[in-house]
Amino acid sequence: MIVRHPPHRAHMAQLFLIVLAGLGAVVGCGKSQPMAQVRGKINFKDSALRSAGIRMVRFEPTSDTNATLRKGASGMIDENGSFELYTRRPGDGVHLGKYAVTFAVYRGAMDQRPLIPAKYISAATTPYKVVVDDDRDDLSFEIEPVGASTSQRRN
């Protein structure tokens, strides 16, 4: 014969606290970080860049950003130049704040020599800065290929 003893109140209280903490972690406290949907278009000055194997845009938080959560966002650039950014998974958007816009354009995964000038690759040198304070679908950036920004002089 098996004798079952009723659980002790202390064990029940511990179990209740564990369940409550688990629910809090799953549900959250109801205060999510504000995010915005961000879309735009890249104008490639050289149409050969449209067929590059890797074309990405990245928003990197600036040092003076007002973002409460400093996380970058990125997205693939379509052959027509369109992009949509996400932070962790497609569709989640971008945290509100100020960003430096950088780009990665390479021939392919096995050939990662940049096809664009270095100024576009680094947050410190990019000419593009953006403030995300609401949904945006009007962003437009122009990128020239490597060698286009330096003029060659012949004497």
**Residue 48 has what pLDDT?**
86
- Is pLDDT of 90 > 80? yes
What are the domain boundaries of the chain? Answer: 35-143
| CA 131 to each of CA 46, 71, 90, 126: distance values in angstroms, whole numbers, following the listed order | 27, 14, 20, 15
113: buried, middle or exposed (CB in 10 Å: 19+, 13-18, 0-12)? Answer: exposed
Q: In sequence order, what DSSP letters do the residues of 76-139 get, joined into one string?
A: EBPTTSEEE-BSSSTTS-EESEEEEEEEEEES-SS---BSS-GGGT-TTT-S-EEEESS-EEEE
The verdict on domain 35-143 having CATH code 3.40.50.10860 is: no
126 vs 19, more confident: 126
Provide mean pLDDT across the span 125-136: 96
* Distance of alpha carbon 86 from alpha carbon 35, whole angstroms: 10
The answer to whether the CB of 127 falls within 8 A of the CB of 30 is no
For tokens 């890249």, name the residue. 42
**Residue 147 has what pLDDT?**
81
Q: What is the pLDDT of residues 72-86, one digit of tens each?
A: 999 999 999 999 999
Q: What's phi and psi for 145, nearest 5 deg?
A: -75, 170
The answer to whether the CB of 5 falls within 8 A of the CB of 12 is no
Q: What is the pLDDT of residues 25-60, one digit of tens each?
A: 444 444 577 899 999 999 999 988 998 999 999 999
